[in-house]
């Protein structure tokens, strides 16, 4: 019986069991689906019939629901976490006398895709999936950049967002066809100005997400030193960051590269307190500067976050009251207003302390921690499933996978020398 159980476990880990084969198929379909479903809906809206936000929600539910079914196994971790989180959110909804299903989605989707990656723990699958996602994104990015008029004939991005109600005719100055409103910069490009003011969006339909996606791909390539096409993946990632003119993406790639040797040496307690240290700095800064004009750069977003946090009532900060303050340009403020301070602490601490099977898996976790700490200064876009599907799946795989011990050969050589010396 013990031998049969060992064989069964080995087969499951190598993807031979029907359950694992199903989970692998769903992982590929759902991750690539989260990447491309907006492009598909944009095509339908442009060439067939009008789409609305309800269609977007149904697609997200279908993709996340499929991933949830595939992620389930005998371990109670995912259902237990979701049950605790939903119970907490229901308490907040009762206090606020207002329901916000998007807030539940914002956390449920990352938990599900992380659990799916953790269950499969297949580094080669993760490598291939990251490369496939990068190739698909780069292909459509080149199509958009090199053949813009043809691209818009098939994918009228502005019309899609107007149909969804995310952009008004006033926002678009009466235009009904074209790129998303952030698809061109009013000022010259920051990265390779000779490429022009067109900020490419590819399958994401808006450039911010493509820049964020480039950071995730770059981090995986930097992390996966054993992957034979890691350099190709990193080149694709930097190409996406460049084409999107994503200043945040470029700066973050530099930061994770410089900090890579430090992730394994930094105590987890430092990462746990890091966002709350940022919150304290923002609050103090906001109190000092009061109100000030802000621009669209990183410095301006820092100031905007400080001003928002300083002016939030304590009842909102602790989650007992809802607010209609615009917080999309500040991930810290958005997270506080959606989940309250205790929810923020609980969610962040859970993320940092999630189990890691091998010490090397912590390196990618550290990269994603840096990514989140930085992006929360300027945006809440990290909650988007467009980039989050792949990010959390890769984080789950890295947390559960077994890695080859690179020092094994050295230890073996030293052991042989020691044995000879003892003779």
Higher pLDDT, 126 or 187: 126
pLDDT at 418 over 70: no
Q: How far apart are CA 182 and CA 198, in angstroms?
A: 9
What share of the chain in percent tops pLDDT 70? 88
What share of the chain in percent tops pLDDT 90? 65
Beta strands in 63-179 (DSSP E): none
195-237 pLDDT tens trace: 999 999 999 999 999 999 999 999 999 999 999 999 999 999 9
Note if the pTM is more than 0.75: yes
Q: How far apart are CA 95 and CA 110, in angstroms?
A: 25
Amino acid 417: pLDDT: 46
- Judged by average pLDDT, the poorest of 39-53, 313-327, 396-410 is 396-410
Q: How far apart are CA 379 and CA 402, in angstroms?
A: 34
- Residue-by-residue DSSP string for 48-63: T----HHHHHHHHHHH
Amino acid 113: pLDDT: 97
Mean pLDDT of the chain: 87
Amino acid 16: pLDDT: 58
pLDDT at 126 over 60: yes
pLDDT at 360 over 50: yes
Amino acid 291: pLDDT: 57
pLDDT at 159 over 80: yes
- For 44-51, the CB contacts below 8 A with 24+ separation are 45/156, 45/159, 45/160, 45/163, 46/153, 46/154, 46/155, 46/156, 46/159, 46/160, 47/154, 50/163, 51/160, 51/163, 51/164
Q: How many CB atoms lie within 10 A of CB 405?
A: 12
CB burial of residue 132 (10 Å; 0-12, 13-18, 19+): middle
| 3-state secondary structure at position 173 | coil
37-89 pLDDT tens trace: 999 999 999 999 999 999 999 999 999 999 999 999 888 889 999 999 999 99
pLDDT mean over 119-139: 96
pLDDT mean over 19-45: 94
- Judged by average pLDDT, the poorest of 223-227, 324-328, 341-345, 379-383 is 324-328
Amino acid 415: pLDDT: 44
């Amino acid at each position: 019986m013990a031998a049969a159980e060992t064989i069964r476990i080995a087969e499951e880990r190598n993807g031979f069991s029907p359950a694992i084969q199903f989970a692998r198929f769903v992982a590929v379909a759902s991750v690539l689906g989260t990447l491309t479903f907006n492009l598909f809906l944009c095509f339908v809206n442009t060439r067939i019939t009008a789409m609305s936000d309800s269609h977007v929600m149904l697609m997200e539910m279908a993709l996340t629901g499929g991933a949830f079914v595939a992620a389930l196994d005998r371990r109670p971790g995912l259902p237990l976490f979701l049950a605790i989180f939903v119970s907490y959110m229901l308490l907040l909804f009762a206090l606020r006398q207002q329901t916000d299903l998007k807030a539940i989605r914002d956390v449920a989707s990352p938990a599900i895709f992380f659990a799916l990656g953790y269950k499969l723990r297949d580094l080669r699958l993760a490598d291939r999936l990251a490369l496939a996602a990068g190739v698909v994104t780069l292909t459509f990015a080149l199509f958009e950049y090199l053949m813009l008029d043809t691209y818009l004939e098939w994918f009228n991005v502005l019309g899609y967002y107007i149909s969804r109600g995310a952009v008004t005719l006033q926002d678009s100055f009466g235009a009904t066809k074209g790129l998303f409103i952030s698809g061109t910069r009013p000022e010259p490009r920051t990265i390779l100005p000779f490429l022009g003011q067109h900020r490419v969006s590819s399958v994401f339909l808006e450039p911010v997400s493509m820049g964020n996606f480039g950071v995730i791909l770059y981090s995986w390539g930097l992390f996966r030193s054993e992957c034979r096409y890691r350099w190709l993946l990193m080149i694709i990632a930097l190409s996406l960051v460049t084409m999107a003119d994503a200043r945040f993406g470029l700066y973050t790639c530099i930061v994770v590269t410089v900090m890579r040797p430090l992730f394994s040496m930094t105590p987890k307690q430092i990462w746990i307190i890091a966002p709350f240290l940022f919150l304290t700095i923002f609050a103090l800064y906001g109190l000092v500067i009061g109100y000030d004009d802000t621009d669209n750069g990183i410095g301006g977003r820092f100031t905007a976050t400080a001003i928002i946090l300083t002016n939030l009532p304590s009842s909102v900060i602790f989650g007992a009251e809802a607010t209609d303050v615009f917080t999309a340009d500040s991930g810290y403020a958005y997270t506080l207003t959606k989940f309250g301070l205790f929810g923020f602490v609980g969610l962040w601490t859970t993320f940092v302390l999630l189990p890691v099977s091998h010490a090397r898996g912590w390196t990618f976790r550290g990269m994603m921690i840096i990514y989140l700490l930085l992006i929360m200064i300027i945006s809440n876009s990290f909650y988007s499933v467009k980039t989050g599907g792949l990010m959390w799946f890769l984080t789950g795989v890295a947390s559960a996978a077994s890695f080859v011990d690179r020092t094994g050969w050295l230890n073996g050589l030293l052991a042989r020398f020691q044995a000879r010396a003892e003779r």
